[in-house]
Chain A
Amino acid sequence: GIQVEQSPPDLILQEGANSTLRCNFSDSVNNLQWFHQNPWGQLINLFYIPSGTKQNGRLSATTVATERYSLLYISSSQTTDSGVYFCAVSQWEGAQKLVFGQGTRLTINP
């Protein structure tokens, strides 16, 4: 099956810093999503981005499908950005067979 690798596994930054999280996948995908799991365990959908670039406030994401990677950018980090960021992919257009990466744990210190 498709493999998803995220890097770095851990990232510790000071408030105000910028960060880039990477997601590599082993085969072509029709569905790629980024999620944030906050320290209380809640999973929040950030982006659906099988290709191209999207922005939402301080967060943006870019997927280069032909090169099989996606990047999540967080600018001007805040302590509330702490948590684990997951990339998930599927080779189907819908949400079936969604495969998650291991996540990047981001800690933002005040």
Chain B
Amino acid sequence: DTAVSQTPKYLVTQMGNDKSIKCEQNLGHDTMYWYKQDSKKFLKIMFSYNNKELIINETVPNRFSPKSPDKAHLNLHINSLELGDSAVYFCASSLSVRDLTYEQYFGPGTRLTVT
């Protein structure tokens, strides 16, 4: 009964390839996020979706494209992978502004290694 799940947990690929990371939450939340944790462990938001609508889009290369088929899923597709894309990518979810707690629940992370 995992709350926020991500697949795969590990992804090793070569430069130039295209890859996707999937995220699903079964908490009934309506807002989902992607965060990137770099090699120095620094976490930064990339995107956020509310009810399948893109809400937050930080300064992220166009090679990164999130897609939300429904409010329980938020996938991250990365084109033309570069060495600098190597990082841990976290998916998170929360209730929208109606929820006074605003707590975000994180998935287990996907470690992407680009060789």
Does chain A bind chain B? no
